Structure 1
Amino acid sequence: MTRTPKHSPYFKTRHISVAHSPDADDLFMYYAIHFGWVDSTQTCFSSCAKDIQTLNEATLRGEYDISAISFALYPLVCDDYALLRTGVSFGNGYGPKLIKKRTTTLKKDFKVALSGAHTTNALLFKLAYPHARIVYKNFLDIESSVLSGEVHAGVLIHESILEYDENLIVEAELWDIWCDLNKRDLPLPLGGMALRRSLPLTIALECESTLTKAVEIAVRNKPLLSRMLLERNLIRVDSAKLETYLNLYANADSITLSDVQIEALDVLFRLGFDAGLYPQLIEANQYMLPCEYLTQRYS
Structure 2
Amino acid sequence: MTTANAEQAGGSEQALRIAFSPCPNDTFVFEAWAHGRVPGAPAIDVTFADIDITNGMAERGEFDILKVSYAVLPWVLDEYALLPCGGALGRGNGPLVLTKDADTDLTGRTVAVPSERSTAYLLFRLWAADVVPGGVGEVVVMPFNEIMPAVRDGKVDAGLVIHEARFTYQEYGLHKLADMGEHWEATTGLPIPLGAIIAKRSLGAETLASLAEAARTSVQMAWDDPAVSRAYVMEHSQEMDPAVADQHIGLYVNEFTADLGDDGYAAIRGLLTRAAAEGLVPALPAEALAFG
TM-score (norm 2): 0.89
Aligned to 2:178: 172
**Residue 156 of structure 2 is aligned to residue 156 of structure 1:** no
- Equivalent-residue separation in structure 2 for 1:177 and 1:287 (angstroms): 24
CA contact (8 A) 1:4 1:46 kept: yes
Aligned to 1:278: 281
Aligned to 1:100: 99
**Residue 239 of structure 2 is aligned to residue 239 of structure 1:** no
CA contact (8 A) 2:25 2:252 kept: yes
How far does the alpha carbon of each residue in 1:217-268 deviate from its partner, in whole angstroms, 9 at most, with x for none?
11222233235533x3645422222221111101333111111111111111
Aligned to 1:268: 271
Number of residue pairs the alignment of both structures matches: 283
1:48 and 1:272, CA in 2 relative to 1: closer, same or farther beyond 3 A?
A: same
1:6 and 1:246, CA in 2 relative to 1: closer, same or farther beyond 3 A?
A: closer
1:241 and 1:107, CA in 2 relative to 1: closer, same or farther beyond 3 A?
A: closer
Amino acid at match of 1:133: E
Aligned to 1:294: none
CA contact (8 A) 2:272 2:283 kept: no
Superposition pairs of residues 39-188 of structure 1, within 5 angstroms: 39-40=39-40, 43-102=42-101, 105-129=104-128, 130-164=135-169, 165-180=171-186, 183-188=187-192
CA contact (8 A) 1:219 1:250 kept: no
- Equivalent-residue separation in structure 2 for 1:167 and 1:15 (angstroms): 46
Once the 2 structures are TM-superposed, how far is the Cα of residue 210 of structure 1 from its aligned partner? 1.4
CA contact (8 A) 1:84 1:288 kept: no
1:228 and 1:23, CA in 2 relative to 1: closer, same or farther beyond 3 A?
A: closer
Amino acid at match of 1:99: L
How far does the alpha carbon of each residue in 1:155-196 deviate from its partner, in whole angstroms, 9 at most, with x for none?
11011111122520000001122135xx33211111111111
CA contact (8 A) 1:104 1:152 kept: no
Aligned to 2:214: 210
TM-score (norm 1): 0.87
Once the 2 structures are TM-superposed, how far is the Cα of residue 104 of structure 1 from its aligned partner? 6.9
1:203 and 1:134, CA in 2 relative to 1: closer, same or farther beyond 3 A?
A: same
CA contact (8 A) 1:17 1:47 kept: yes
Aligned to 1:16: 16
Aligned to 2:132: none
- Equivalent-residue separation in structure 1 for 2:123 and 2:40 (angstroms): 38
Query: SS state of the match for residue 158, structure 1?
Result: coil
- Equivalent-residue separation in structure 1 for 2:233 and 2:280 (angstroms): 38
Which runs of at least 4 in structure 1 moved beyond 4 Å after TM superposition?
A: none
Amino acid at match of 1:144: P
In terms of mean alpha carbon deviation, does 219-228 or 64-73 score higher?
219-228
Once the 2 structures are TM-superposed, how far is the Cα of residue 124 of structure 1 from its aligned partner? 1.5
- Equivalent-residue separation in structure 2 for 1:209 and 1:251 (angstroms): 16
Aligned to 2:203: 199
Aligned to 1:293: none
Query: SS state of the match for residue 197, structure 2?
Result: strand
CA contact (8 A) 2:85 2:256 kept: no
1:161 and 1:92, CA in 2 relative to 1: closer, same or farther beyond 3 A?
A: same
